[in-house]
């Protein structure tokens, strides 16, 4: 990486030139860096807000799942069969599903080789279990912190290969270049956060960026993403990278004081679901009004253990998603606080637990686990003591404390679009991991972690096949960077103008909380078009303001304010995509319920309709086009801002395209071998440092 100091838009800043940049240090980013280095791409770096940040490093669940090709037992499996399961999720491209499946055993073996402790039996079989949206036993786990184990091992590899890691750097804009029909990446603008009181802008000139910045986690108030993950999808959309399936998220029940998924044993031990008034008085068990019998209610709680995400198809009589619905109604409509209580048994339970009292499935499981006595806490301690310790390590004693919960956003199935090499139509950009829109309506549990490895491996391979980058000179790059740098500098200066009488701008902290509340209220798992439209209009209003609705009192707040700008753009795109989908009259699917007064189904008085079975045959793609630069005759002569505020607003574009099927299985070894030698073989052996282009 070459470093010089340049002056641009009147500001001196560092300019770093390098072959390929990886943004993000989660499971996807670290694997991307490891694979690039393995292919001999030397002039690379990882840019990250922090190795200690992001979803992979800071999250987990009862048994965090990794989805891979079946490698044990007698059940037959193949890449194609796994691709069919991924494809069956709906609104998924078949070729992308096939690549994810085909690379799965390689990625898994790599993780095992570098030390991730996935369990195997005495014969070396990596045994699996069944996960949601899966009819085989492809799931495995390295415990509650699988993704953390993955990043620890991957980081060790990246350090072993001496890849520079640029920590405390925040990407705040991508720099696109080229004509509108052939846009490409020219570089990136970042904030150096080393001195938080005075963040400095830094320019990166690089034409290949692996975008591993994770999901747009900061969008929701009710969220089980770790607070340290916010995401950077908005700035990629701003640069012209299209996204797909932005309507498709996963929501489920999670604790809120310490953010954690309440799946698996947390539900299977049958805690009480209680609500209280805001002051803690008037405690009551609220689930029973939604079920015909107490045993039905407890059976549904048990099922939540492995039917964790909300699913409108599970809202029928006795369905497990009624539990999410009841939690939502209790908190959002009735204004009460909602908790899980492990201290005593739910109403109607007699000991020892019996099939009559809790349902046959729950009873069979708990009896086999030797957990039919005691309180929910006793059963949890017996079946999964780590689950108890985890909360204890965050100051929550489940033997004594109520655990506050909400229905929370957990994963974005959609994201930035890429082809079967994870290459964006914005050339040079490779969205990988959760930033990539590889999934659609449903996905098997654990497939997100497979994506972090398969997508990044594939993108690194594509870059290696092209050989080293040839960068244009710095002067022409600075010309390309100038409008982007100007736009950010002028936003910062508008944010920093002193408070005026009647000023409606908010400081960045309260601004973020309002933005997140807006999304949870209008665009969580319960959606209706009027709420989405007014939330989208509020976003428009803020985007059309030179200061984006924010007032920044001191320079130390600039990183948060620019992070909010990223979220605002992502929120505008998501809400616009949801409105566009509502216009298509899709119905309810995936993990969201479209409220519909004319719907043919009902649950506790609300009406809805399920999406047609073929609704996943099409994929929605969304793109934003921001004005390149506002012409000078439209600028206010005094402030220099556009006279018409709509000059700041992007145009949204949507298309609904048929999914690409899984490619036919017509390979023949002799012909594929020849094709491989002329097209795909990377001459570099691992670590020999050379790489020649064949494409
Ligand atoms: C509670 C919970 C449980 C889950 N359980 C499972 C499970 O069991 N199985 C499964 O498959 N998946 C699960 N997931 C999803 C899975 O953990 C994530 O999809 C995956 O870890 C994402 O990895 P990633 O590398 O793409 O992104 P992340 O791990 O989020 O990493 C993103 C990185 O980008 C950096 N970054 C972001 N923005 C910027 C910026 N502007 N500038 C610089 N750096 C930036 C971050 O600091 C971070 O280093 C779960 C998620 C949650 C929240």
- CA–CA dist 448, 60 (Å, integer): 12
Q: How many angstroms is it from 45 CA to the middle of ligand 1?
A: 19
pLDDT value for 135 = 82
Query: Would you state the structure tokens that stand for residue 224, as one six-digit string?
Result: 């089980």
- Alpha carbon distances (Å) from 259 to 95, 403, 450: 35, 11, 23
- Cβ of 433 less than 6 Å from ligand 1: yes
26 Cβ below 6 A of ligand 1: yes
Residue 38 Cβ inside 6 Å of ligand 1? The answer reads: no
Has residue 383 been placed in a domain? yes
In this structure, is residue 269 part of a structural domain? yes
DSSP 3-state of 332: helix
Main-chain phi, psi angles of 454, to 5 degrees? -70, -45
The mean-pLDDT minimum among 445-459, 577-591, 638-652, 665-679 falls in 638-652
Tell me whether the omega of the peptide bond preceding residue 352 falls within 30 degrees of 0, making it cis: yes
Q: Which two tokens stand for residue 161?
A: 């290969």
Burial class (CB within 10 angstroms; exposed 0-12, middle 13-18, buried 19+) of 503: exposed
CA of 52 to the centre of ligand 1 (A): 12
- Is the C-beta atom of 233 inside 6 A of ligand 1? no
pLDDT digits 0-9 by tens, 357-403 = 898 989 999 999 999 999 999 999 999 998 999 999 999 999 999 99
Given pLDDT bands bounded at 50, 70 and 90, which one contains residue 565? very high
Gap from CA of 216 to ligand 1 centroid (Å): 9
Q: pLDDT digit string (tens) for 393-448?
A: 999 999 999 999 999 999 999 999 999 999 999 999 999 999 999 999 999 999 99
**For residue 192, what are the β-bridge partners?**
169, 200
> Who wins on pLDDT, 608 or 685?
608
Q: How many CB atoms lie within 10 A of CB 195?
A: 11
Buried b (16+ CB within 10 A) or exposed e, 106-118: ebbebbeebebeb
Q: Provide the 10 A C-beta neighbour count for residue 681.
A: 13
Measured from the CB, is residue 424 less than 6 Å from ligand 1? no
Domain that residue 258 falls in: 251-409
Q: Is the CB of 64 under 6 A from ligand 1?
A: yes
pLDDT on residue 452: 98
Q: 188: which residues sit within 8 A by CB, 6+ positions away?
A: 21, 23, 47, 171, 173, 174, 175, 203, 204, 206, 209
pLDDT computed for residue 505 by the predictor: 94
3-state helix, strand, coil in the chain (%, to 5): 40, 20, 40
Could you tell me if residue 272 is inside a domain?
Answer: yes
For residue 215, the CA-to-ligand 1 centroid distance in Å is 6
Which whole number is the average pLDDT over 108-132? 95
Enter the DSSP assignment of 45: E
Does pLDDT of 677 surpass 80?
yes
Judge whether 588 lies within some domain. no
- CB within 8 Å of 302: residues ≥ 6 apart: 267, 268, 270, 358, 359, 361, 362, 365
Residue 23 beta carbon below 6 angstroms from any ligand 1 atom: yes
Mutate to test the pocket of ligand 1, among 24, 46, 191, 561 (most ligand atoms within 8 A of CB): 24
Q: What percent of the chain has pLDDT over 70?
A: 96
Q: What is the pLDDT of residue 640?
A: 60
Compute the Cα dihedral for 522, 527, 659, 213 and give only its sign: positive
pLDDT of residue 641: 60
Q: 53 alpha carbon to ligand 1 midpoint, in Å? A: 9
Cα–Cα distance between 483 and 504 in angstroms, integer?
28
What DSSP line would sit under 164-181, residue for residue? -EE-SEEEEEEEEES-GG
Provide mean pLDDT across the span 207-226.
Answer: 98
What's the rounded Cα separation, in Å, for the pair 76 and 86? 17
Q: What is the pLDDT of residue 689?
A: 41
- DSSP per residue over 485-532, as a string? HHHHHHHHHHHTSPP-TT---B-HHHHHHHHHHHHHHHHSSEE-HHHH
Distances in Å between the Cα of 247 and the Cα atoms of 396, 425, 590 are 34, 20, 9
Hey, whose CA ends up nearest to atom 11 of ligand 1?
Answer: 446
* Ligand 1 centroid, distance to 339 Cα (angstroms): 26
What's the gap between Cα 646 and its chain centre?
Answer: 30
Q: How many domains does the chain have?
A: 1
Read off the pLDDT of residues 641-675 as tens digits, 9 standing for 90 and up.
Answer: 665 667 778 999 999 999 999 999 988 999 999 99
DSSP conformation class of 677 = I
The Cβ of residue 254 has, within 10 Å, a number of other Cβ atoms equal to 24
Q: Which of 18, 9, 42 is nearest to 474 (CA)?
A: 18
Spacing, Cα 145 to ligand 1 middle (Å): 13
Residue 207: helix, strand or coil by DSSP?
coil
Determine the pLDDT at residue 631.
Answer: 63
- Lowest mean per-residue pLDDT among 44-53, 86-95, 418-427, 629-638: 629-638
CA of 306 to the centre of ligand 1 (A): 21
Cα–Cα distance measured from residue 364 to residue 687, given in angstroms and rounded to the nearest whole number: 53
Residue 684 has pLDDT above 50, yes or no: no
Q: Does 364 fall in a domain?
A: yes
Ligand 1 centroid to residue 675 C-alpha, Å: 36
Residue-wise pLDDT for 332-365, tens only, equals 999 999 999 999 999 989 999 999 989 898 999 9
Strand pairing report for 11-17 and 200-205:
parallel
Quickly count helices (H) and strands (E) in the chain.
19, 26
Shortest-distance atom of ligand 1 to CA 225: 53
Percent of the chain residues topping a pLDDT of 90: 86
Tokens matching residue 79? 């890449």
Cβ 415 under 6 angstroms from ligand 1: no
Question: What CATH number did the domain enclosing 310 receive?
Answer: 3.90.700
Q: Check residue 330 and report its DSSP letter.
A: I
Residue 24 Cα: closest atom of ligand 1: 34
Q: Is the CB of 275 under 6 A from ligand 1?
A: no
Q: Ligand 1: distance of its center to the CA of 564 in Å?
A: 18
pLDDT computed for residue 156 by the predictor: 98
Q: How far is the CA of 229 from the centre of ligand 1 (A)?
A: 7
pLDDT for the residue numbered 694: 46
Flag whether 304 is in a domain: yes
Q: Is the distance from the beta carbon of residue 133 to the nearest atom of ligand 1 less than 6 Å?
A: no
CB atoms within 10 A of CB 146: 25
Average pLDDT taken over every residue of the chain? 93
Q: Please give the residue that has the higher pLDDT: either 14 or 692.
A: 14
The pLDDT of residue 122 is: 96
Interatomic CA distance for residues 206 and 151, integer angstroms:
25
Q: Measured from the CB, is residue 225 less than 6 Å from ligand 1?
A: yes
207 CB near ligand 1 (under 6 Å): no
pLDDT in tens, 17-41: 999 999 999 999 999 999 999 999 9
Q: Which atom of ligand 1 is nearest to the CA of 446?
A: 11
Tokens 């059940």: give the residue: 75
The pLDDT of 78-93, averaged and rounded, is 97
Asked if residue 590 has its Cβ within 6 Å of ligand 1, the reply is no
Cβ of 594 below 6 Å from ligand 1: no
* Residue 183 CA to its chain's centroid (Å): 25
Q: Does the C-beta of 53 come closer than 6 Å to ligand 1?
A: yes
pLDDT of residue 306: 86
| Cα(255)–Cα(276) distance, integer angstroms | 16
Top pLDDT among 504 and 633 is at 504
Indicate if ligand 1 lies below 6 Å from the C-beta of 508.
no
DSSP per-residue letters across 97-123: HHHHHHHHHHHHHHHHHTT------TT
Q: Is 24 in the pocket of ligand 1 (CB under 6 A)?
A: yes
438 CA distance to ligand 1 middle (Å): 14
Is the CB of 250 within 6 Å of ligand 1?
no
Across 579-600, average pLDDT? 94
Considering the domain boundaries, does residue 577 fall inside one? no
CA of 636 to the centre of ligand 1 (A): 42
486-510 average pLDDT score: 93
Cα of 412 from ligand 1 centre, angstroms: 10
pLDDT recorded at residue 639: 57
Please work out whether the CB of residue 48 comes within 6 Å of at least one atom of ligand 1: yes
Task: Determine, yes or no, domain membership for 427.
Answer: no
Ligand 1 centroid – CA 65 distance (Å) = 14
């Amino acid at each position: 990486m070459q470093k010089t100091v340049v002056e641009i838009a009147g500001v001196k800043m560092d300019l770093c030139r390098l072959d390929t940049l990886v943004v993000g240090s989660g499971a996807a980013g670290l694997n991307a860096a490891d694979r690039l280095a393995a292919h001999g791409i030397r002039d690379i770096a990882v840019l990250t807000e922090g190795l200690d940040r992001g979803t992979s490093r800071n999250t987990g669940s009862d048994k965090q799942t990794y989805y891979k090709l079946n490698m044990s037992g007698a059940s037959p499996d193949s890449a194609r069969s796994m691709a069919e399961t991924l494809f069956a999720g709906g609104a998924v491209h078949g070729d992308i599903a096939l690549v994810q499946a085909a690379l799965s055993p390689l990625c898994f073996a790599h993780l095992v080789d570098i030390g991730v402790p996935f369990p195997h039996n005495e014969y070396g079989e990596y045994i699996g279990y069944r996960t949601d949206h899966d009819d085989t036993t492809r799931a495995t786990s390295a415990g509650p912190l699988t993704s953390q184990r993955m990043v620890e091992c991957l980081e060790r590899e990246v350090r072993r290969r001496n890849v520079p890691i640029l920590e405390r750097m925040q990407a705040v804009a991508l720099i696109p270049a080229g004509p509108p029909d052939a846009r490409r990446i020219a570089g990136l603008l970042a904030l150096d956060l080393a001195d938080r009181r005075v963040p400095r802008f830094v320019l990166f000139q690089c034409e290949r960026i692996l975008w591993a910045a994770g999901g747009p986690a900061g969008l929701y108030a009710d969220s089980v993403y770790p607070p340290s993950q916010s995401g950077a999808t908005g700035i990629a959309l701003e640069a012209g990278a299209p996204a797909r399936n932005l309507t498709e998220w996963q929501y489920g029940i999670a604790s809120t004081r310490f953010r954690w998924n309440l799946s698996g044993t947390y539900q299977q031990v049958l805690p009480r679901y209680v609500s209280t008034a805001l002051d803690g008085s008037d405690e009551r068990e609220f689930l029973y009004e939604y079920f015909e019998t107490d045993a039905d209610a407890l059976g549904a709680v048990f099922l939540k253990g492995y039917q964790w995400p909300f699913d409108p198809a599970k809202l029928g009589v006795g369905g497990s998603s009624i539990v999410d619905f009841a939690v939502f109604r209790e908190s959002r409509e009735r204004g009460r606080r909602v908790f899980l209580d492990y201290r005593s048994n739910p109403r109607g339970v007699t000991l020892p637990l019996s099939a009559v009292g809790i349902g046959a499935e729950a009873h069979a499981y708990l009896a086999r686990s030797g957990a039919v006595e005691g309180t929910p806490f006793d059963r949890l301690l017996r079946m999964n003591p780590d689950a108890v310790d985890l909360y204890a390590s965050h100051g929550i004693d489940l033997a004594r404390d109520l655990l506050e919960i909400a229905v929370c956003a957990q994963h974005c199935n959609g994201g930035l679009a890429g082809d079967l090499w994870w290459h964006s139509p914005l050339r040079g950009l490779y969205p990988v991991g959760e930033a990539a829109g590889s999934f659609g309506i449903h996905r098997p549990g654990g497939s997100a972690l497979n994506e972090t490895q398969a997508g990044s491996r594939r993108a690194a391979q594509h870059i290696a096949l092209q050989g080293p980058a040839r960068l244009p000179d710095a002067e022409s790059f600075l010309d390309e960077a100038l409008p982007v740098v100007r736009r950010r500098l002028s936003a910062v200066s508008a944010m920093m103008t002193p408070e005026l009488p009647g000023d409606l701008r908010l400081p960045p902290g309260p601004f973020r909380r309002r933005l997140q509340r807006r999304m949870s209220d209008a665009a969580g798992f319960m959606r209706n078009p009027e709420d989405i439209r007014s939330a989208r209009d509020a976003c428009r209003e803020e985007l059309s303001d030179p200061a984006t609705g924010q007032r920044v009192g001191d320079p130390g707040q600039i990183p948060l304010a620019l992070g909010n700008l990223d979220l605002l753009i992502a929120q505008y795109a998501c809400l616009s995509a949801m409105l566009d989908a509502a216009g298509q009259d899709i119905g309810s699917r995936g993990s969201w319920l479209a409220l519909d007064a004319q719907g043919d189904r009902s649950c506790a008085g609300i009406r809805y309709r399920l999406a047609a079975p073929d609704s996943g045959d099409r994929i929605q793609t969304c793109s934003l086009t921001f004005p390149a630069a506002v012409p000078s005759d439209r600028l206010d002569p005094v402030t220099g801002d556009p006279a018409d505020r709509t000059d700041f607003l992007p145009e949204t574009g949507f298309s609904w395209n048929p999914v690409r099927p899984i490619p036919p299985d017509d390979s023949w070894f002799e012909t594929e071998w020849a094709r491989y030698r002329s097209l795909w073989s990377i001459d570099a052996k691992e670590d020999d440092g050379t790489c020649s282009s064949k494409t």
